[in-house]
Amino acid sequence: MFHVNHLENKVIYQIYPKSFMDSNGDGVGDLKGIISKLEYLAGLGIDYLWLSPINQSPQRDNGYDISDYYAIDPRFGTLEDYKLLIHEAAKWNIKIMMDLVLNHTSTDHAWFQKALAGDAHYQKFYYFSDRPTTATSVFGGSAWNFVPELNKYYFCLFDKTQADLNWDNPEVRQEIYKMVNYWIDLGVQGFRLDVIDSISKDLNNNIVSRGPRFIEYLSELSDQTFQDKILTVGECWNPPLEQMYAMCGEHGLFQAFHFADITHNHRPNKWNLDPLSLKTVVEVYEKWQNQYAGAPAWAMNNHDSPRLLSLWLDDQTYRYESATLLITLYSMFKGNLYLYQGEEIGMTNAHQEDINWYNDIETLNAYQEMKEQGLSEEEIMQKIMKVSRDNARVSMHWNASTYAGFSTVKPWLGLAQNHTTVNVANDLANPQHSIYYYYKSILALRKNFYPHINTMATFHVDDSILTITYPTHKLYANFSAKATDYTPPLAPILISNYEENLPHQLQPYQAIIYQIANG
């Protein structure tokens, strides 16, 4: 067993504020709506609430285009509402994690507007150039956008309304540190840092991520702001172990996402997926459980990803079993566990077939690109229905009413097709078959059992059966709809997602944990 850091063994629940709970009937979720659901959230046994960006924003990329780091977007409420959320959450022993975008600002930000007006001081806050490089945007097309008034281009790794900050300018860094400390002083106790590995670049060589001064800037950010007192998690994609050690240490972030598990079947990208490869994904689990000495950040779902339940398993006939299998598996890994709103009731992909239903800028751009590539409408929509980010951004399903209890008016995005059956009210009405109550049980088990999880484990795959053996317990998971014979240990069952456990047979999508030794 390894040392447990005071920021480890935590459960963090991510809320997409626009889609969680609307308190004032405008179709957009808000801070007062979140406050009204704190008891529900506390019932799960969570430690932190991570809110996707709530800063002022034109919402061209759903809040990840911040126009004022110090202001709360009026869509969500006021600064007083945010203070109240921090205060009320504390009564339930829940800390607030803020989502900050430090790589870029909205082009509506005062800094960028001053730069456009010809202010040379603020032009140095961004990347302006007479000659664009061949760098491409994550959202498609060139990463440079031309400004006729200045006869210059500015760099935008994402949307053209998201101008990248020049972290090589020390004044930019000091402004960022001052702002982070403002929120810490206000009571924020955690930060999720969006695309943090892009803050250092070498544009002359088209290096737009993990540039030459990345670790230096992370260390400086940590030393001048959160140090080791605040839970921080960075958004990174598939960093090698060496990079993770460099990022997450005494002078850096506490942890970062790797997403290697939920992206293992991208061929070559998320719009082209292979089926789940249990053998491949288990190699990811083994790497971060056994080879990484730090505290991994595990997330099955988030605002940028479709529902894992729909991608990997059966979100129809075996929705309960599939959802509870996944949380059983992920609860048994060391580090911190990040949940996403709705997964605790088994919310699925939206299954919306009309492109006009979708809102996400990445999805709409991909739709046009695939059209230009000659794909048929049916082919395109099959891909979009499977992996669009809007699958995760639908309104939270609270009940079976017209707008799912989220609002009294039509929501800003809409609902999944199955909202009348898959919702909180229906789930809680049947405690014996409730995904929420299963989550509550497995998370409590994880909390108390953590020292036995925070150790080496042996992973084994036999066709559709995954077995993980720890010194004191053993997990079996059947990743298929077929009942499969197995030889169970002569040991007590800690938890199972079936009420009745058949001797020598794993049922479809069954997950079961045995206690094989006393610890």
Confidence label for 518 from pLDDT (cuts 50, 70 and 90): confident
pLDDT tens by residue, 414-445:
999 999 999 999 999 999 999 999 999 999 99
Residue for token pair 């008034």: 149
Q: Which residue has the tokens 């050690």?
A: 245
Q: Which comes out higher in pLDDT, residue 331 or 139?
A: 331
Share of the chain above pLDDT 90, in %: 94
List % helix, strand, coil for the chain (3-state, nearest 5).
35, 20, 50
What rounded mean pLDDT belongs to the chain? 96
Q: Which residue has the tokens 């699925």?
A: 348
Say how far apart CA 244 and CA 224 lie, in whole Å. Answer: 21
The predicted-structure confidence for 463-516, as pLDDT tens digits, reads as follows 999 999 999 999 999 999 999 999 999 999 999 999 999 999 999 999 999 999
Q: pLDDT-based confidence at 268, cuts 50/70/90?
A: confident
Q: What is the pLDDT of residue 4?
A: 81
Rounded distance between C-alpha atoms, residue 171 and residue 124, angstroms: 9
What residues act catalytically?
A: 194, 235
The confidence score (pLDDT) of residue 297 equals: 98
Q: Kindly give the pairing relationship between strand 231-234 and strand 255-256.
A: parallel
Pair of tokens at residue 161 = 């309304």
Residue 230: name the closest of 52, 380, 96, 430 by CA.
96
The confidence score (pLDDT) of residue 451 equals 94
Which value, to the nearest 10 degrees, does the dihedral of the CA atoms of residues 8, 13, 16, 20 take?
-160
Strands 11-15 and 48-51: parallel
Residue in the structure block whose two tokens are 């079936």: 498
SS3 284: helix
Give the Cα-Cα-Cα angle 459, 289, 237 (nearest 5 degrees).
115
The answer to whether the predicted template modeling score (pTM) of the entire model surpasses 0.75 is yes
Q: Residues 317, 323, 324, 329: is their CA dihedral positive or negative?
A: positive
Mean pLDDT of 145-165: 97
Q: Is the pLDDT reported for residue 2 higher than 70? A: no
CA angle centred on 262, ends 259 and 268, rounded to 5°: 95
> What is the rounded (10 degree) CA torsion for 286, 289, 291, 297?
120
Give the strand pairing for 473-478 and 484-485.
unpaired
Q: Given its phi and psi angles, is residue 409 left (phi above 0), alpha (psi -120 to 50 degrees) or beta?
A: beta
The token pair at 443 is 């998370």
Please report the DSSP string for 361-374 in residue order.
Answer: HHHHHHHHHHHHTT
Kindly report the backbone phi and psi dihedral angles of residue 136, in degrees, each rounded to the nearest multiple of 5, phi listed first.
Answer: -110, 155
Contacts of 92 (CB under 8 A, 6+ apart): 38, 39, 41, 42
Across the beta sheet with 144-147, the strand order is 128-129, 152-155, 144-147
**Confidence at residue 1, expressed as pLDDT on a 0 to 100 scale:** 46
> What does the DSSP assignment read for 83-125?
HHHHHHHHHTT-EEEEEEE-SEEETTSHHHHHHHTT-HHHHTT
Contact by Cβ (8 Å): 57, 73: yes
Contact (Cβ atoms closer than 8 angstroms) between residue 512 and residue 486: no
- The amino acid present at 261, given as its one-letter code, is D
Could you give the CA distance from residue 197 to residue 247 in angstroms, rounded to a whole number? 9
Closest by alpha carbon to 310, among 368, 247, 359, 262? Answer: 262
- pLDDT single digits (tens) 4-55: 899 999 999 999 999 999 999 999 999 999 999 999 999 999 999 999 999 9
For position 178, what pLDDT does the model report?
Answer: 98
